[in-house]
Every structure is written in structure tokens, then in C-alpha cells.
Amino acid sequence: MEKTDPLLPLLDCTLERTEIPGLPEPARGKVRDVYDLGDRLLIVTTDRISAFDVVLGTIPCKGQTLNSIAAHWFDKTRELCPNHMLSLPDPCAMVVKKLQPIPLEIVMRRYITGSLWREYEKGAREIYGLRLSEGLRPDQRFDEPILTPTTKEAVGEHDQPIAPTEALRRGLISEPLWYRIEAAARRLFEFGEQEAARRGLLLVDTKYEFGLEGEKLYLMDEVHTPDSSRYWEAEGYKLRFERREPQVMLDKENIRQWLLARGFSGNGTPPVLTSEVRLELARTYLGLEKRLTGREPTLPRGDIQKRLIQNLKRAGIAARGIA
């Protein structure tokens, strides 16, 4: 008898959008709904999936998987850089410090792949204020990780590459703060690479977001998740690279490649995600959660929105007595 896929019933039980009784309308990002609690924020990581800055639909279990992985790394990296996490009232929710966000995303890259390779392949050699050498091949490892900032645009807008000197010229950041952020990003990435290697993984690239409380710098948003990072299987990397074969990807790049194969790269109407591609990415994320955290993921049961509200009531965040 054929075994039933335990994820199949979850295709129609995803958390796409939240409404929390007694709380104001949230600010909705591509994936997260953010509620202002006064001196803190409630961040609910939904099951929404985005690529090329376009929200495409939902992936089963994605929200709680991202929340679990982010919480794991926030715990692991506190000594490298303070972060905004305060508590986890629900598998897909996190209460955090309210910070002044820095309007840049800091992307660390160890390999030339993804959007950087696509630009390089078109002939770009000077980007992000860096000069890339000739003769690079797709998925090639840099001797040292490179730092490639982007602007942080509104939902539906494309984040733009920006050189640090241009960010300074525009007044997006001060020079002393930039050096603090760069140092923190390099510490975090070095640690992430080491931890990934222990699990048979390559941390290919990742983005960090930072915020300030007064003069104190904090890591915020998420860290080393498969939405914000690329992970490859370490075993067989060199052979695949030499043969110019695709790497075994364990992150959101699977969706990007699926879209690119269908002619979508951010403009126009994206293709509808099939059940197969949604389930495959759910399995990839759940497998990565187990490898990174060492814990067996728990699949959600029942109405996720209802569970979320019940847990927030218990935590004293949502109003009791309101349905």
C-alpha cells in the first residue's frame, strides 16, 4: 500500500495572513506580519513565499520552520552580536525588541552564484563597489567571503545593489557604524560557515539585517534561515563544480530556479506554484531545520491562526475574551 504524504493535507492549511484580536493592523512584509506592542514588536512568520521580491503563495510549515531556525541561530550567536529576540509565544511567532532599523541588507557571499552570477554572466565586473576578476565560473568559491549590500525596498519593489561608499554618500549609514556592521557580519558568517560544515553543509551566502537601540547594534529580522541564506550539500560540491552541474540546493533558490525555467525573473505575472513544487520546498525546509537544529520538526495540526491566537492570549499578548 502506498504511504500517504503527511504534508499533503497541509497544502490547504497554511498561514497566509494574520489578524490578532486586540492588536492594531500589522505591517505586512513579504513573509512576516509585524505587530507594534508599544515597547516591543510581535513578528509572526507566515507561510508566504516570495522570490524576486514578489509574493507567490504559501508553503506548508514554512513559517514555523523559519521561526525555529532563526531562534536557534539567535541563541547560538548572542555572544557574537546581540539580537532582538525576547520570547517565542508560538511556533511561528517571536516577540522582539523594537529597534531603529538600518536601511540596508548586508549580504555575505562565499560563492559566485544566484543574482551575482547572473550579473557577472551578463558582463558585470564592477558591482557593490567591488571589482570581480575575469574567468570566474558559476558556483566558484571566493578565497575570502565578499560583502555585497543592497537597499531595503518596500514590498513589491526590487532591492538594489549599493556600494558602501554610495550608502555613506546618501546618508543611509555613518562610516563608524558601517565598520561595526561589517565586522559583525563577518563574525556571524564565519560562525555560520563553521556550524554548517559540521552538518555536512556549505553556507553559500546569507543576508543580515541590523538595528539600533541608542548606540547599541543588534542583529534583527532572521539569521541563517533558508529564506535568507543559500545552503548546499558539501559532499560532491567539487565534482559538481568541475562538471558544471547544478549544486544540491537546500533553500529558496529551488523556487527561483523553477521560476526562471518558466521565464519569470520578477517582472510580469509569475506562474502559479504547483502542489508538487510547494510540497518539495516544504520537505527541503523541514529537512534543513532538522539538520541545523538537531530537532525533529513538529508538523502543525488544525487551524494555525486559531492556535496562534490561543498562544498569544496565554502569553498576555492578544486580548482574552475576544473570539
> What CATH number is associated with residue 237?
3.30.470.20
- Taking residues 182-198, what's their average pLDDT? 98
Q: Residues 61, 183: one domain? A: no
Other CB atoms within 10 A of residue 72 CB: 19
Residue 239 phi/psi, 5° resolution?
-65, -45
Contact indicator for 300, 294 with CB cutoff of 8 Å: no
Distance between CA atoms of residues 227 and 66, nearest Å? 8
Q: Residues 298, 252: one domain? A: no
Q: 3-state SS of the chain: helix, strand, coil percent to 5?
A: 30, 25, 40
- Residues 251-269 have pLDDT tens digits of 998 999 999 999 999 889 9
Q: Is the pLDDT of residue 168 over 80?
A: yes
Q: Is the pLDDT of residue 156 over 60?
A: no
Query: Is 69 in a helix, a strand, or coil?
Result: helix
Contacts of 272 (CB under 8 A, 6+ apart): 57
At CB < 8 A and 24+ separation, what contacts does 127-133 make? 127/161, 128/161, 128/162, 128/163, 129/163, 129/164, 129/165, 129/166, 130/163
- Taking residues 118-123, what's their average pLDDT? 94
- Taking residues 166-189, what's their average pLDDT? 96
Distance between CA atoms of residues 76 and 67, nearest Å? 14
Mean of per-residue pLDDT scores for the chain: 93
Rounded (10°) CA dihedral 113, 115, 117, 122: 170
Q: Residues 62, 16: one domain? A: yes
Handedness of CA 68, 71, 75, 81 (dihedral sign): positive
Q: Which domain, by its residues, includes 191?
A: 102-258
Contact indicator for 197, 168 with CB cutoff of 8 Å: no
**DSSP calls for 198-242:** HTTEEEEEEEEEEEEETTEEEEES--S-TTTEEEEESTTHHHHHH
Q: Residues 60, 80: one domain? A: yes
Q: In total, how many domains does the chain have?
A: 2
Q: Residues 127, 216: one domain? A: yes
Domain assignment present for residue 125? The answer is: yes
Q: Is the pLDDT of residue 171 over 80?
A: yes
- Residues 21-55 have pLDDT tens digits of 889 999 999 999 999 999 999 999 999 999 988 99
Q: Residues 201, 109: one domain? A: yes
> What CATH number is associated with residue 282?
3.30.200.20
